Structures are given as structure tokens and as C-alpha cells.
Amino acid sequence: MLRDITLGQYYQTKSYIHDLDPRVKLGGTVLYIISLFCFKNYLGYLIAALFLAIVVKLSHVPFRFMVKGMKAILMLLMITVMFNLFLTPGTPVVTLWKLTITAEGVRMALTMMARLTLLVIGSSLMTLTTTPNNLTDGMEKMMSPLKVIKVPVHEVAMMMSIALRFIPILMEETDKIMKAQTARGADFEHGNLLARAKALVPLLVPLFISAFRRANDLAMAMEARCYRGGEGRTKMKPLIYKKKDFLAYAGLVVYMVVSIVVGRLSLG
Amino acid sequence: MSIILDHVNYIYDSNQPTAKKALDDVCLTIPDGQFLGIIGHTGSGKSTLVQHLNGLLKATEGHIYVDGEDIYDKDYDLKKLRSKVGLVFQYPEHQLFEIDVFTDVCFGPKNLGYDRKETELLAFDALQKVGLDKEYYYQSPFELSGGQKRRVAIAGVLAMKPKVLILDEPTAGLDPKGREEILSQVKKLRDESNMTIILVSHSMDDVAEYVDRIIVMNKGHVMYDDVPKEVFRHYEELEQIGLAAPQVTYIMHALAKEGLPVDTDITTIDEAADEIVNALKRSGRKVN
């Protein structure tokens, strides 16, 4: 029942993008998002879209997975576009009853739409091609300079990877308990808001109990293996940059320079 | 109250690269009052199969008829089906949630729309059937032992008065004593109520003693479907798919190989003991 949630999901396959160091993908995504906010003309968005299309092609992830991520923000997208379309002051183009569409509004709405779409597809591409564990590893390594100012980088990364690890487990557990209670005649799908909220009790109580039990077991298991935090811990698979990572960085720099230079040209 | 499965197929994650065929063209007829064992290795599709029987999973292809009605018909009442076919999940104690045992058992019948008095009668009856001591009825279910919790959970399904009771690995994680208690309780239930009982397990020893018929599942399809002693004749093939015949079968085959004229079709320990004594007498040796 809950297997259909895809936002933030990993798509398993082999590709150039999948094999990249997570730091490249993290840094690349951040830079890509920054670039989206630098453009002043449509040409910039065109280059950004082209760049994204190439990366998607390289990643071997079917396009429909990108679209699935879009579904989640469709509502937000519609509202943003509507507000910009009708509420931007400027030269009126069309007047519908009390609402006025302005030339500036159309431009603004298109910009916002392009920005949001590219942003969501870009960042979901990162999670689709990187396992959660890899991602937190990358973050830990990238943030490690912050240790100097006493930021508990390792602990934060560990908490993140545990939280991520627990999502599928709890999802499966929820599915199981839901089925078990459905088998006892519980109804999660019908009735008014109050009835449905009440119906969640037989689901949430066992779920919380199991989550606490699992957390307790995990703490015990870590304790039993002498886990004492990040100090002096080594990694089985340390992150080391390879040739293809530098290649990717080079591609990224080229994209950044070209897109921002072209994107900030004033075309009159 | 017969159940018919007609060419049932089920595929997990059908739109993902990880798609997996969990049921492969399963055809079965389960008549009234049968005590049926479904056996298979982990991942053989046995749990998937039983979740189809009360409509929790919908077959990708094929049809299921309960009492002659197609359960995938648009106007078929699935709630009614779930009251007819009670399913006790693996580790059912994880579904307990109420403040006391009795209220938890009332959950099922209450959902089916029984009034308060009927609900309480049904719950009381179910708790008695699973043999839980009265002193526990008003305790929190979380304070009970593993075996007791499991009985409460089984009572929670029994209270819905199902005509078919499905138990998915009812002995998983229990010690030998708890296992024995649950299985003999199930047997008693069947003797007293003439319910159809489906026992899912990966252990032949669990089911050999009790069931009328065994279905062996392997990689989503039905490999054997017969009375226990016929199924156990294939004990070598069973081993190849990671299952074992009951220990008794091995002993009897080993004895026969050594020249003692015993009947190798025997499936229970008591029968085996008698047979060995008789065989020894027949072969003219002295028995103390």
C-alpha cells in the first residue's frame, strides 16, 4: 500500500552518474541550484535544461521517475504560477473580470515555472542516483572542516544515515500493521476526517512501540560493538576522487561559466 | 465455504526494475473443514498466497472465488470476506495496541458492527478458546509473555467468528513449549469447531502431525499438493529446495535401509515408536 512513494528514492542501475563520488553530486547539485537563481534571460534556463537533459541521459534513470517527483510539487507549482501571473504589476495584456494579466507577470510566471521544475528534477536526480549511505558519507566528508569550530559532524552524519535507514524499515512495518489491522476489520480509507484520524490509533500505537524497540536494539548492538563516536574511526570504503570525478568537476565548471555568462547577458 | 483459486499470478513492484513474480499460476481448491498446511522456504510465496485469500493483496492476474462469489467483483464486500476468512499474521503480537487484553480482542468484532454485548461475548469466547487465564484479561497486553501475547492476537482474529482461520508461521520465535501449546490449541480448535484451518510454516515437523493435506510452495508455484505421507515420499526433492521432511521420515528410511522392515510412510513420532516395536517383533528380535 505504501510502496508507491518515490520522492527521495534510489533507482538502482549502473551508470556514469551512479559511479561518481557523492561529493561531486552534492556539490554539483548545490551549484546547479545556485546557477538557476543567477539567470536574467531565457537563454540561461535553456542551457540549464540542456545540461540537465544530458545528465539525465547519462544516469540511465527512466524519465518517468523524474516526472513522478514533479507530481508531488504540482500543486505548489500551479499556485506559484497563478500568483505571479495575476499579481505582478506592470503593463496589462489581458483583463479577465477583476484579474489582470501583465506582460511582466507572464515573464515572471514562466521564470518561476522553469526554475522550480529544473530545481526539483535536478535535486531528485541526485537522490535517484546516490544511495542514502553514500550521500551521508559525502556530507560528512564535505563538512569535516567544521569540526574545527566544534560542530559534531560525525554524529550528525550518523544520525542522518540511521534516520534514512529506518525509513524503509518503518514503511514496511506500517504496511504490515496496516494489513494486520485491516484483516481485523479496521477501515483506513472511508469515513470523515474524525473517523479516519481515530482509525490511525491501531496503526500508530504498534508502530511507535516497534520504532522504540528497534531503536533500543540498535543502540544495544552499537554499544556491543564498542561504538564510541567518530574519533579515530576508519572507513571500509573511504571516499577517494578518481579520474571521472575530476572530469565531472570540469564539466560542471564549464557549465557554470557558460550558463552564468550567457544567462546574465542583457538581451535588451 | 470453499475457496477456489483460478490461475492466480502476483507480481511485486510491477513497475520497478526490481519487479518479482511472487505467485506463478496458482490453482487450488480448499474445501470446507479441511486442515491444510502450506509449506515453503522463505520467499517461496506462501505468505503472499494467504494474503490473497482475504483480499489484502489483489492478484495481478486470475480469480479467487469464495463461496462461489468472485472476490474481485466490484460490488463484493471485502469486509464481509475478512470476517469469513480470518488471517493471523506472522508475529501477530506486534499488532496489539489497546489498554487491556479484553479491549484489544474486542477490536475485530466492533469493526464488524456487532453491538457492545455481542462484541464482549465474542471476545470472551475467543479468549477462552485460546486458553488464556482469566487473570490476564484486564492487564495491558504489553506486560504479557511472548506466547501469551500471541494467544491474545490469535483471539483477536477468532473473535470475528471466521469460518476459515489462516495462521502465518504461528510458532515463529517461540520456545518448544510455546510452540507445542499453540499447535495443540489450534488442533483443539479444529476438533471442536470444524473450522477450515490453514497453517503456514517452513517446518514440516510443525505441520506433519496435524494436517490433512500439505501444499509445498517453491518459487511462487505449487510443487506438491497431497496428503502428508505422499508429500514426504519426495523427501529428497524437498531437501533440494531447502525444506526437510519430518525427522521421523529420515529415521524410518535409515532403518529400512539397514534392513529393518518398517513402513517408511509414517509421519508422527507415536506411530513411529509402535511401528519400530512391531517391526522388531516381526523380524523375530527381542524387545524389552
Spell out the per-residue pLDDT of chain A, length 268, in tens.
444 444 457 788 888 888 899 999 999 999 999 999 888 888 889 999 999 999 988 988 888 777 776 777 888 888 888 888 888 887 777 777 777 788 888 888 888 888 988 998 888 888 888 887 888 889 888 888 888 898 888 888 888 888 877 887 888 899 899 999 999 988 888 878 888 888 889 999 999 999 999 999 999 999 999 888 777 788 888 888 889 999 999 999 999 999 888 888 766 4
Q: Say yes or no: B256 and B280 in one domain.
A: yes
Provide the pLDDT for residue A1: 40
Sign of the four-CA dihedral B59, B62, B64, B68: positive
Any idea which of A2-11, B47-56, B193-202 has the lowest mean pLDDT? A2-11
Residue B35 C-alpha, separation from nearest chain A C-alpha, in angstroms? 21
Structural domain boundaries enclosing B50: 1-76+163-237
Please name the residues in contact with B196: beta carbons below 8 A apart, sequence gap of 6 or more: B1, B3, B30, B31, B32, B33, B34, B35, B36, B163, B164, B165
Nearest to A205 among B13, B51, B97 (CB): B97
Residue A187 C-alpha, separation from nearest chain B C-alpha, in angstroms? 8
Q: Which of B82, B87, B94, B119 to mutate against chain A (most A CBs within 10 Å)?
A: B94
Q: Which residue has the cell 519487479?
A: B19
Contact A183 B96 (CB under 8 A): no
Residues of A whose CB is below 8 A from B56 = 179, 182-183
pLDDT digits (tens, 9 = 90+) for B220-276: 889 999 988 888 888 888 888 888 778 888 888 888 888 888 888 877 788 888 888
For B19, the enclosing helix (H) or strand (E) is: none
Q: Say yes or no: B170 and B231 in one domain.
A: yes
Answer yes or no: is B195 within a domain: yes
Q: Which residue has the cell 531528485?
A: A124
Answer yes or no: is B61 within a domain: yes
Answer yes or no: is B250 within a domain: yes
CA angle A210, B85, A171 (to 5 degrees): 25
Among residues B100, B135, B159, the one where a domain terminates is: B159
Dist CA B251 CA B276 (whole Å): 10
Q: What is the DSSP letter of A205?
A: H
Q: Say yes or no: B172 and B204 in one domain.
A: yes
B162 touches chain A (CB under 8 A): no
Q: Say yes or no: B167 and B122 in one domain.
A: no
Which one has a higher pLDDT value, B155 or B229? B155
Among residues B110, B130, B159, the one where a domain terminates is: B159
Provide the pLDDT for residue B285: 65
Q: What is the mean pLDDT of chain B?
A: 87
Contact B79 A185 (CB under 8 A): yes
Provide the pLDDT for residue B286: 60
For chain A, which residues make up each domain, given as ranges? 1-130+242-268, 131-237
pTM value > 0.90: no
Q: Which of A11, A14, A172, A184 to mutate against chain B (most B CBs within 10 Å)?
A: A184
Please name the residues in contact with A238: beta carbons below 8 A apart, sequence gap of 6 or more: none
Which one has a higher pLDDT value, A93 or B30? B30
Kindly state the average pLDDT of the residues B190-217: 87
Answer yes or no: is B197 within a domain: yes
Provide the pLDDT for residue B192: 87
Answer yes or no: is B130 within a domain: yes
